[in-house]
Chains A and B, each alone.
Chain A
């Protein structure tokens, strides 16, 4: 951001009482004071680090994310508990099949080496959750990024050119906002994900990318609407006029003058869309049209554990917590960013 725009910027977003500091500096001061937002930010960073280092953990624990260990199931196929789980003591020893675990009648079996218990056909739930973070974060960044690109381009064009371009883009936005989104997403996911061939002639294969594309394609209108509003109000500002009078091209004005100035609200809304996209993916997985089983996903884990509350609470608690904490973290950061950029709503 260039210094000459800062006055306008401050006037626009921060309000009256600060003079002389760059908006980022002001923002950072505000943000830093918000302990909740900082905590959220730290959680997000931890989550990213965990997702990146998941293979190291897998190596350390000795189980891969798709590694099957039937010995970690009891003879009824029930998953073992975390090694520290207070399972009731075994009341009888049953020896059948391929496993030699001893079991209480109603109890569970704590399995050594499995920090958060066993999932699916004897997979390490801890490692699975770490890899699930990759899925969620991929969706968070890929789908949101896609929405961002489409939304920003269309939003700026609509606000900047106004007239027919604006009408066309705004109507398109309205149309997408009027779509029964989950229904169409379910349909698309079913159409492309439920067949061996994928769709569009095999171009789009079932999997993470498909789910990301679907979510991205349905969440751009929110961004485009916000950007359009911002651009409309900014269009007549002095710095844009100045740039235009200096003979800058439309493209230059849009990319050099307007884009940097809508960056702040953009970041806020992006941060707030991320958690809803993560939940979107989890919901699709819950309804059975998400990513395939070989890709770890918190939503799919929750869906598979069904009513595991009754007999294996760890199957619900840990993926649920991971999902909840991640969305919470992004929401905290988003709130903090918003407050920092607009002190009027600050708590």
Chain B
């Protein structure tokens, strides 16, 4: 019943757009030749398990979940640009042309992007004789804009396209900024220069939807709620039984694909139309991928140990397995640990006393036993102790050794914490112990799944010498995030959240987490940074002002190249030393254990998960 750690490690960025981000990413098309080894590794059936189903039944316009993104990237959906399914060090954070024949051409003013499509790429069953054309991308983007079809998705990334919002608002029948002069050319006009547009066209919501008769949304017509179960593939795999899909009748009479039973199972078979010659990003080793959905976390990992299944997609490796696989030399090569580009943290609500006082926030930064927090997660395998906020890869490692609250062994320093507390207005007698009623029974929200209740117990233990006592509420994960985000909830601390990137840019941290545009009821600025006095009183707070970093976020999102990295790093320092909205405690690792059947593994930095197409199994 435990949801994945990674479930929360997807990032939401508001409809405000990161400015150009040159240098990083789009280099010339590189072809990684996997041909020689693929012959040895190909074949067999990869057996996986998931604790919980994907979030929106595979509808590409709705799925905003890293696990589904991996299914799309590895297997089902090709996009104009895409990733290689490898770690950062091997280029896993970079994008490469996929359905595009080459890098896009960008006009001098940065407002017009032109993609040229590869020739001869056909859809999977039942559209095997249909080629991918430029109009199919327009269809997908129109569906992305359509509020009836995009529930829970990330359409805000595409608001920069001219006419996108008009279409979304029902004011236009087409998106004026999208045009297809011919079948293999897609022209995109933007309202403002957007350097990272390539990354946005590497996301599955832009994947082509094939035409079907005269229907506006092609195969997706009439499937506003359930296109995922009728999904037409372009990648190396398709849902089993895709050939039986029939789009001719009325949508409500069509039978969904057999290979995906929501809440039960996913079966992928090879897409007969997929041609390795047009795809140098995906080795596509297994012949089939079978996934069962549901079960108990510990039980599933026991099944991996026993070889009954090969891999658990969305689980958390239990500490005893981590111990077994790190200490037993025979098992070590079946343990895979990669930074998942996510940070775990405790956030303060700066509008709730005593956290309106920076000294109290700093004192807690000194007091927190980060080592202990990591220990109950399973020890050092689970991540690197965090000394700051942005994951190092987003700052080009500028702050990799930075930790303004370094304590011996990262276990917290009560003396430093008390010295800090002495400077607080909530410690009137200056003995280092808070003596104000505001420090009693502080409303703290956390996740009810392991190991968060354990971490909360440690937190209580760490804070009691400072005179701070907590009233901890353990909530179901989705509810917890809603409550942390809800400025009306008057919570003082959020002890269970984590944050990961959507793609490799510092804005995916700075914008949603610390800019005032991320405030309730948009996204994820739990500390209420940048809230106005009116907003604060509207939410029922007595505190009238909180710090803001809006200007710095704007400065960084306009910066380019190395200056951009430096800017995010400066903001990071400013937040850690002056604003102190968080205690970041862990840069999270993705930890996977594999069954004895798995002969090849690769970590996909994009989704922060194993790359399913790179996994090879015996018996092939």
Measuring CB to CB, which residues of chain A are less than 8 angstroms from any residue of chain B?
66-68, 70, 73-78, 92, 94, 96-99, 103, 105-106, 120-121, 123, 190, 194-196, 206, 288, 292-294, 304, 306-308, 310-312
User: Are A97 and B474 in contact, with the CB atoms below 8 A?
Assistant: no
Query: Within 8 Å CB of B445, what residues of A?
Result: 196
Q: Does B327 belong to the interface (CB within 8 Å)?
A: yes
Chain B, residue nearest A119 (CB): B454
Query: Within 8 Å CB of A311, what residues of B?
Result: 320, 323
User: Are A307 and B299 in contact, with the CB atoms below 8 A?
Assistant: yes
User: Are A288 and B409 in contact, with the CB atoms below 8 A?
Assistant: no
Q: Other than A97-B371, A98-B409, A288-B476, give 17 A-B pairs with Cβ distance below 8 A.
A: A66-B460, A68-B457, A70-B372, A73-B376, A77-B319, A77-B451, A98-B372, A105-B324, A121-B457, A121-B458, A194-B476, A288-B1, A293-B454, A293-B457, A306-B296, A306-B297, A307-B298
Chain A, residue nearest B491 (CB): A196
Residue interface mask B49-71, A partner, CB < 8 A = 1: 00000000000000000000000
User: Are B320 and A312 in contact, with the CB atoms below 8 A?
Assistant: yes
Could you say which of B377, B460, B479 contacts A77, with CB atoms under 8 Å apart? B377
Looking at the assembled complex, report how far the CB atom of A149 sits from the nearest CB atom of chain B, in whole angstroms. Answer: 30
Query: Within 8 Å CB of B218, what residues of A?
Result: none
Looking at the assembled complex, report how far the CB atom of B303 sits from the nearest CB atom of chain A, in whole angstroms. Answer: 11
User: Can you list 23 pairs linking A and B with CB atoms under 8 Å apart?
Assistant: A68-B457, A68-B460, A76-B319, A76-B320, A77-B376, A78-B323, A97-B374, A97-B379, A98-B369, A106-B327, A106-B328, A121-B372, A121-B458, A194-B475, A195-B483, A196-B475, A288-B448, A293-B453, A293-B474, A294-B472, A306-B296, A307-B298, A307-B299
Looking at the assembled complex, report how far the CB atom of B380 sits from the nearest CB atom of chain A, in whole angstroms. Answer: 6
Given A77-B451, A288-B1, A206-B473 contact (CB < 8 Å): yes
User: Are A196 and B473 in contact, with the CB atoms below 8 A?
Assistant: yes
Q: Does B375 belong to the interface (CB within 8 Å)?
A: yes
Q: Does B244 belong to the interface (CB within 8 Å)?
A: no
Q: Does B165 belong to the interface (CB within 8 Å)?
A: no
Q: Does B455 belong to the interface (CB within 8 Å)?
A: yes
Could you say which of A68, A105, A194, A308 contacts B458, with CB atoms under 8 Å apart? A68
Given A76-B323, A77-B451, A78-B319, A190-B380 contact (CB < 8 Å): no
Residue interface mask B349-382, A partner, CB < 8 A = 1: 0000000000000000000010110111111110
Chain B, residue nearest A99 (CB): B375
Looking at the assembled complex, report how far the CB atom of B366 sits from the nearest CB atom of chain A, in whole angstroms. Answer: 16
Instruction: Give the A-B contact count at a CB cut-off of 8 A.
Output: 124
Query: Within 8 Å CB of B454, what residues of A?
Result: 120-121, 293
Chain A, residue nearest B456 (CB): A293
Query: Within 8 Å CB of B375, what residues of A?
Result: 70, 73, 75-77, 97-99
Query: Within 8 Å CB of A70, what residues of B?
Result: 369, 371-372, 375-376, 458
Query: Within 8 Å CB of B380, what residues of A?
Result: 75, 96-97
Q: Does B489 belong to the interface (CB within 8 Å)?
A: yes
User: Are A77 and B472 in contact, with the CB atoms below 8 A?
Assistant: no
User: Are A307 and B296 in contact, with the CB atoms below 8 A?
Assistant: yes
Looking at the assembled complex, report how far the CB atom of B444 sits from the nearest CB atom of chain A, in whole angstroms. Answer: 9
Looking at the assembled complex, report how far the CB atom of A347 sits from the nearest CB atom of chain B, in whole angstroms. Answer: 40
Measuring CB to CB, which residues of chain B are less than 8 angstroms from any residue of chain A?
1, 296-299, 302, 318-320, 322-324, 326-328, 369, 371-372, 374-381, 409-411, 443, 445, 448, 450-451, 453-458, 460-461, 472-476, 479, 483, 489, 491
Looking at the assembled complex, report how far the CB atom of A188 sits from the nearest CB atom of chain B, in whole angstroms. Answer: 15
Looking at the assembled complex, report how far the CB atom of A191 sits from the nearest CB atom of chain B, in whole angstroms. Answer: 11
User: Are A195 and B479 in contact, with the CB atoms below 8 A?
Assistant: yes
Looking at the assembled complex, report how far the CB atom of A119 sits from the nearest CB atom of chain B, in whole angstroms. Answer: 10
Chain A, residue nearest B301 (CB): A307
User: Are A310 and B302 in contact, with the CB atoms below 8 A?
Assistant: yes
Looking at the assembled complex, report how far the CB atom of B219 sits from the nearest CB atom of chain A, in whole angstroms. Answer: 38
Query: Within 8 Å CB of A310, what residues of B?
Result: 302, 320
Query: Within 8 Å CB of B453, what residues of A?
Result: 120, 292-293
Chain A, residue nearest B323 (CB): A76
Cα of A97 to Cα of B475 in the assembled complex, Å? 29
Query: Within 8 Å CB of A66, what residues of B?
Result: 457, 460
User: Are A304 and B450 in contact, with the CB atoms below 8 A?
Assistant: yes
User: Are B371 and A98 in contact, with the CB atoms below 8 A?
Assistant: yes
Chain A, residue nearest B377 (CB): A77
The 8 closest A-B pairs by CB, nearest first: A293-B453, A121-B454, A311-B320, A307-B298, A76-B323, A306-B298, A68-B461, A76-B379
Could you say which of A75, A195, A308 contacts B379, with CB atoms under 8 Å apart? A75
Query: Within 8 Å CB of A105, what residues of B?
Result: 324, 327-328
Given A293-B472, A307-B299, A78-B320 contact (CB < 8 Å): yes
Query: Within 8 Å CB of B483, what residues of A?
Result: 195-196
Query: Within 8 Å CB of B372, what residues of A?
Result: 68, 70, 98, 121
Chain A, residue nearest B446 (CB): A293
User: Are A292 and B472 in contact, with the CB atoms below 8 A?
Assistant: yes
Chain A, residue nearest B471 (CB): A196
Query: Within 8 Å CB of A77, what residues of B?
Result: 319, 375-379, 451
Query: Within 8 Å CB of B328, what residues of A?
Result: 105-106
Chain B, residue nearest A300 (CB): B453
Cα of A311 to Cα of B319 in the assembled complex, Å? 10
Cα of A96 to Cα of B410 in the assembled complex, Å? 12
User: Are A121 and B376 in contact, with the CB atoms below 8 A?
Assistant: yes
Chain A, residue nearest B372 (CB): A70
Cα of A185 to Cα of B299 in the assembled complex, Å? 26
Query: Within 8 Å CB of A103, what residues of B?
Result: 323, 327
Looking at the assembled complex, report how far the CB atom of A109 sits from the nearest CB atom of chain B, in whole angstroms. Answer: 11
Cα of A60 to Cα of B302 in the assembled complex, Å? 39
Cα of A312 to Cα of B321 in the assembled complex, Å? 12
Cα of A78 to Cα of B327 in the assembled complex, Å? 14
Looking at the assembled complex, report how far the CB atom of A43 sits from the nearest CB atom of chain B, in whole angstroms. Answer: 30
User: Are B379 and A96 in contact, with the CB atoms below 8 A?
Assistant: yes
Query: Within 8 Å CB of B476, what residues of A?
Result: 190, 194, 288
Query: Within 8 Å CB of A94, what residues of B?
Result: 327
Chain A, residue nearest B462 (CB): A68
Central interface residue in A98, A120, A311, by most chain B CB within 10 Å: A98
Query: Within 8 Å CB of B324, what residues of A?
Result: 105-106
Cα of A121 to Cα of B319 in the assembled complex, Å? 12
User: Are B379 and A306 in contact, with the CB atoms below 8 A?
Assistant: no
Chain A, residue nearest B320 (CB): A311
Query: Within 8 Å CB of B456, what residues of A?
Result: 293
Looking at the assembled complex, report how far the CB atom of A290 sits from the nearest CB atom of chain B, in whole angstroms. Answer: 10
Looking at the assembled complex, report how far the CB atom of B118 sits from the nearest CB atom of chain A, in whole angstroms. Answer: 48
Chain B, residue nearest A190 (CB): B476
Query: Within 8 Å CB of B326, what residues of A?
Result: 76
Looking at the assembled complex, report how far the CB atom of A135 sits from the nearest CB atom of chain B, in whole angstroms. Answer: 15
Looking at the assembled complex, report how far the CB atom of A282 sits from the nearest CB atom of chain B, in whole angstroms. Answer: 16
Looking at the assembled complex, report how far the CB atom of A281 sits from the nearest CB atom of chain B, in whole angstroms. Answer: 16
Cα of A98 to Cα of B489 in the assembled complex, Å? 36
Query: Within 8 Å CB of A106, what residues of B?
Result: 324, 327-328
User: Are B474 and A292 in contact, with the CB atoms below 8 A?
Assistant: yes
Chain A, residue nearest B411 (CB): A98
Query: Within 8 Å CB of B319, what residues of A?
Result: 76-78
Chain B, residue nearest A307 (CB): B298
Chain B, residue nearest A92 (CB): B327
Chain A, residue nearest B474 (CB): A292
Cα of A105 to Cα of B458 in the assembled complex, Å? 26
Looking at the assembled complex, report how far the CB atom of B4 sits from the nearest CB atom of chain A, in whole angstroms. Answer: 16
Looking at the assembled complex, report how far the CB atom of A196 sits from the nearest CB atom of chain B, in whole angstroms. Answer: 5
Cα of A288 to Cα of B455 in the assembled complex, Å? 17
Cα of A56 to Cα of B445 in the assembled complex, Å? 32
Looking at the assembled complex, report how far the CB atom of B102 sits from the nearest CB atom of chain A, in whole angstroms. Answer: 48
Cα of A78 to Cα of B324 in the assembled complex, Å? 11
Chain B, residue nearest A67 (CB): B461
Looking at the assembled complex, report how far the CB atom of A27 sits from the nearest CB atom of chain B, in whole angstroms. Answer: 46
Could you say which of B302, B379, B489 contacts A196, with CB atoms under 8 Å apart? B489
